[in-house]
Amino acid sequence: MITGASSGLGAGFACALAEAGADVVLAARRADRIEDVASSVEKLGRRALAVPTDVTDPEACDRLARTAVAEMGHVDVLVNNAGLGTAVPALRETPAEFRAVIDVNLFGAYWMAQAAARVMDRGGSIVNIASVLGLVKSYTPQAAYSSGKAGLIGLTRDLSQQWAARRGIRVNAVAPGYFSSEMTRAVPAEGLQAFLGSTCTLGRLGEQPEIDAAVVFLASPASSYITGVTLAVDGGMSGH
């Protein structure tokens, strides 16, 4: 199951996991867009199921997990990718704006993790898509986004502890840096490049295949002795 699978990194993860041999269940609010991604997956020779889902609704998350089991037989992996990004100065950000980001980026990930854990067999893997901004300062004013992603990293550690022995489920996170995506294309290129030049060891945006590899690794048995870890895929930004 992949949330936030209608575009950007989530759509890329769907195709990468399909190429690695997985059938995928695609979840997002934009029904037409996940149908397009499902078609891309099917062209790779794998089954795909598109399920419109709002991860801020715990009941919708449970329905998604039950549908995945009913249609696919079992759930081995959850990629918690649904996310909302905003850039609002702290003294201008309203309570509603702040809560909307946390509702998707942290609460939504928690509801989905709960739903997945209820249906997963032992050996399952949850991969939370956090952000380097949960680890280091932001380029733009993003208190809500950074807080939510830092919270998701903490949630990853806690769930990994709770579910390791009891349920046999590994829980890890990937913390992407700045990748070529819808979100970064909305940022003025010159200013972003100057920021990357001063804060990122590799000095450039990441590309989809560079994060796909990390997600596929943490989703697969190749990482069977790894849990509770946040893997930064950020061009060296968090270690700068």
- Kindly state whether residue 239 falls inside one of the protein's structural domains: no
- Kindly state whether residue 240 falls inside one of the protein's structural domains: no
Indicate the pLDDT class of residue 123, thresholds 50, 70 and 90: very high
pLDDT at 221: 95
- Kindly state whether residue 27 falls inside one of the protein's structural domains: yes
- Catalytic: 110? no
Asked whether the predicted pLDDT for residue 209 surpasses 70, the reply is yes
Q: What secondary structure, in 3-state letters, does 96-165 show?
A: HHHHHHHHHHHHHHHHHHHHHHHHCCCCCEEEEECCHHHCCCCCCCCHHHHHHHHHHHHHHHHHHHHHHH
Residue 94 belongs to what domain range?
A: 2-234
Report pLDDT digits (tens) over 15-25. 999 999 999 99
- Kindly state whether residue 78 falls inside one of the protein's structural domains: yes
- Kindly state whether residue 202 falls inside one of the protein's structural domains: yes
Assign residue 88 the CATH number of its domain: 3.40.50.720
CA 148 to chain CA centroid, nearest Å = 12
- Kindly state whether residue 101 falls inside one of the protein's structural domains: yes
Asked whether the predicted pLDDT for residue 184 surpasses 70, the reply is no
pLDDT at 195: 80
One of 110, 139, 145, 178 is an active-site residue; which one?
Answer: 145
- Kindly state whether residue 50 falls inside one of the protein's structural domains: yes
CA-CA distance, 89 to 184, in Å (whole number)? 18
- Kindly state whether residue 63 falls inside one of the protein's structural domains: yes
Tokens of 153: 């990293």
Q: State the pTM of this model.
A: 0.93
Q: What secondary structure, in 3-state letters, does the chain show?
A: CEECCCCHHHHHHHHHHHHCCCCEEEEECCHHHHHHHHHHHHHCCCCEEEEECCCCCHHHHHHHHHHHHHHHCCCCEEEECCCCCCCCCCCCCCHHHHHHHHHHHHHHHHHHHHHHHHHCCCCCEEEEECCHHHCCCCCCCCHHHHHHHHHHHHHHHHHHHHHHHHHCCEEEEEEECCECCHHHHCCCHHHHHHHHHHHCCCCCCECHHHHHHHHHHHHCHHHCCCCCCEEEECCCHHHC
As for how many domains the chain has, the answer is: 1
Q: In what order do the strands lie in the sheet with 77-80?
A: 48-52, 24-28, 2-3, 77-80, 125-129, 170-176, 230-233
CA-CA distance, 142 to 90, in Å (whole number)? 8
Report pLDDT digits (tens) over 124-180. 999 999 999 899 887 788 899 999 999 999 999 999 999 998 899 999 999 999 887
